[in-house]
Amino acid sequence: MNRHARFSLLLGLSALVAVAVFGFSPEKLSAQSAGDVTFAADVAPILQASCQECHNPEGVGPMSLLTYEEVRPWAPMIREKVSTREMPPWHVDKNVGIQQFKNDVSLSDGEIEKIVQWVDSGAPLGNPADLPPPLEWPSGEDWRLESLLGRPPDLIVPSTSFDVVANGLDQWHTPVVEIEGLDGPRWVLANETKPSYPLGRRVTHHANSSVLRVVDGEEQRAGFSNFGIGKPYDIYPLNTGMMVQPGDQLSWNIHYYPIGQEVIGEVAEVGLWFYPEDEPPQFATAGDQSFGSYRSDDQEMVIPPNSRQITQGIHVLQQNARIHSFRVHEHLIGTGQSLEAVYPDGRVEILGKAGWHPSWHITYLYEDHVAPLLPKGTVLIITAWYDNTENNPWNPDPNTWVVHGRRTGDEMSHMWIGISYFDDGQFEYLVAERERVLEELGIATAGEEDGG
**What residue ranges bind another protein (CB under 8 A)?**
1-2, 162, 165, 168-169, 171-174, 294-312, 332, 396-397, 399-401, 403-409
CB of 161 to another protein, least distance (A): 13
> In terms of CB distance, is 144 or 308 closer to another protein?
308
* CA neighbor of 374 nearest in space, from 419, 322, 426, 423: 322
Q: How far is CA 239 from each of CA 5, 119, 189, 422, rounded to the nearest angstrom? A: 42, 45, 8, 13
Min dist CB 399 to another protein, Å, is: 5
Q: Which is nearer to another protein, 33 or 383 (CB)?
A: 383
* Minimal distance, residue 263 CB to another protein, in Å: 12
> Is the bond preceding 88 in cis, omega lying within 30 degrees of 0?
yes
Is the CB of 99 or the CB of 400 nearer to another protein?
Answer: 400
* Chain centre to alpha carbon of residue 260: 26
Burial zone of 432 (CB within 10 Å; 0-12 exposed, 13-18 middle, 19+ buried): exposed
Nearer to another protein, 22 or 257 (CB): 257
Whose Cβ is closer to another protein: residue 72's or residue 404's? 404
DSSP helix/strand/coil, 190: strand
- Per the DSSP assignment, residues forming a β-bridge with 220 are 213
What's the Rg (C-alpha) of the chain?
23
CB of residue 304 to another protein, shortest distance in Å: 5
Query: From the CB of 109, what's the least distance to another protein, in Å?
Result: 30
Q: What is the dihedral of CA 410, 413, 418, 422, to 10 degrees?
A: -130
Contacts of 329 (CB under 8 A, 6+ apart): 290, 361, 412, 413, 414, 415, 416
Q: Which is nearer to another protein, 8 or 139 (CB)?
A: 8
For the chain, the farthest-separated pair of C-alpha atoms sits apart, in whole angstroms, at: 74
What is the rounded distance in angstroms from the CA atom of residue 22 to the CA atom of residue 119?
Answer: 10
Q: Which is nearer to another protein, 383 or 426 (CB)?
A: 383
Instruction: Considering the complex, state which of residue 332 and residue 415 has its C-beta at the smaller distance from another protein.
Output: 332
Indicate the residue among 168 and 198 with the shorter CB distance to another protein.
168
Report residue 341: phi and psi, to 5°.
-120, 130
**CA–CA separation, 394 and 399 (whole Å):** 13
Closest to another protein by CB, 77 vs 164, is: 164
Report the distance separating Cα 356 and Cα 280, nearest Å: 36
Q: Which backbone phi and psi does 286 adopt, to 5 degrees?
A: -85, 0
Q: How far is the CB of 166 from another protein (least distance, A)?
A: 13
Q: State whether residue 203 is helix, strand or coil.
A: helix
Q: How far is Cα 227 from Cα 201, in angstroms, rounded to an integer? A: 10
Q: How far is the CB of 2 from another protein (least distance, A)?
A: 8
CB of 409 to another protein, least distance (A): 3
Closest approach of another protein to the CB of residue 307, in Å: 5
C-alpha distances in angstroms, 105 versus 37, 52, 87, 90, 351? 21, 11, 9, 7, 19
Shortest separation between residue 212's beta carbon and another protein, angstroms: 16
